[in-house]
Amino acid sequence: MVLETEIIYQQSIPVLDVKYHLCVSQENGVKVDVSPASNVVPIFNQLRVSSESISTETSLFGSTVTHSEMITDTIIEEAVAKFAPNVRSGSCADIGPRGSMDDDHIQVDDLAAHLGFVLKYPSPSAFYAVFDGHGGPDAAVFVKNNAMKLFFEDTTMLQSYGTDAFLMKRLEDSHRKAFLGADLAMADEQSISSSCGTTALTALVLGRHLLVANAGDCRAVLCKRGVAVDMSHDHRPSYLPERKRVEELGGYIDDGYLNGYLSVTRALGDWDLKLPLGSASPLTAEPDVQVVTLTEEDEFLIIGCDGIWDVMSSQEAVSLVRRGLRRHDDPQQCARELVKEALRLHTTDNLTVIVICLSPVESIVESCPPQRRRFRACSLSEEARNKLRSLLESN
């Protein structure tokens, strides 16, 4: 007899990796179907547990107690807590074929030290960002120069990491506020033209958590045991959810451009294309935010401006970096190799990319080892072919 029960548990870690649940349950002989969580940081998850080994005499209540003892908050937290990212990074920027360099970036491997505080519970902390300016470099430079003040105004919130179960949700809200705050600041900044703007993507590593916020067509890609996992969406008119949002707010797409002018649908600045303050505009600075809990499967993160992604898929970039790390274990060199490859593929834009290692190179193993050939190709001489033909014809 197969019994199915639902176990609802409260977790003190905001986001948990689905594969971990499967691993824990399989070790205990339990089949687990994890219900998908919503886009916001989950505080409760549901697991449906079924066991084929439960006897017919076992009650529903009894099976619930048995499996809830197997899968507890303590077991899950302890197993996930065994992994701590080993953060190090390398970056590369190149003007490419353009006449001016409008990209910019931020690379901080030790955020706590950079901001001048000590975490109550020692954990990795790092912050990275890429900015792709248009209409000149002024908007990208402005956001870079003010990023620490905008994104980490409340350092006490960061220092509480490890004690506050709702921290990542609070950080998500603060990052949205920072993007919108930077956008509003540029509306009043006399040194920045109203036709100047920038896309922006940020990546925050805090303990086992990764938070990515994006407005525009920069991209973040996580390598999970050799597989590319997009951590952001390219906000372009060709992306159907963005096209729908733009049209619902009164905007239009003309030949792939927002209102016939801009190739992205989200950006900071560009106030000549935005409606008056307080109005919902087709062009917005509000970011999409993704939060995940990192595990030992997460090898590295790539964030880059669209000069990379215009000519390279996420998986191609991940494979190139993975080969590089296994060869020389240098994220700086990997970033240079990505830029070099994009130039070879004739990108037409500025190039900026950051490679952020999360696991030691020893954990990066060959995901698909080459298989041996069963047969070796060979060619026959003319004489051998004639003999073979005669033999076949005689039969």
Taking only the tens of pLDDT, the chain with its 395 residues reads 433 333 333 333 333 343 433 443 443 443 434 333 333 333 223 333 333 333 333 333 343 344 444 444 444 444 445 788 999 999 999 999 999 999 999 999 999 999 998 887 788 999 999 999 999 999 999 999 999 999 998 888 888 787 666 888 899 999 999 999 999 999 989 899 999 999 999 999 999 999 999 999 999 999 999 999 999 999 999 999 999 999 999 999 999 999 999 999 999 999 999 988 767 899 999 999 999 999 999 999 999 999 999 999 999 999 999 999 999 999 999 999 999 999 999 999 999 999 999 999 887 766 544 444 444 555 667 777 777 777 777 76
* Residue 212 CB partners (closer than 8 Å, separation 6+): 201, 202, 203, 204, 220, 231, 232, 289, 290, 291, 303
Whether the pTM exceeds 0.85: the reply is no
Helix ranges (H only) for 152-267 are 155-159, 167-188, 240-248
Neighbours of 328 (CB within 10 A): 13
**CA atoms of 110 and 87, how far apart (whole Å):** 9
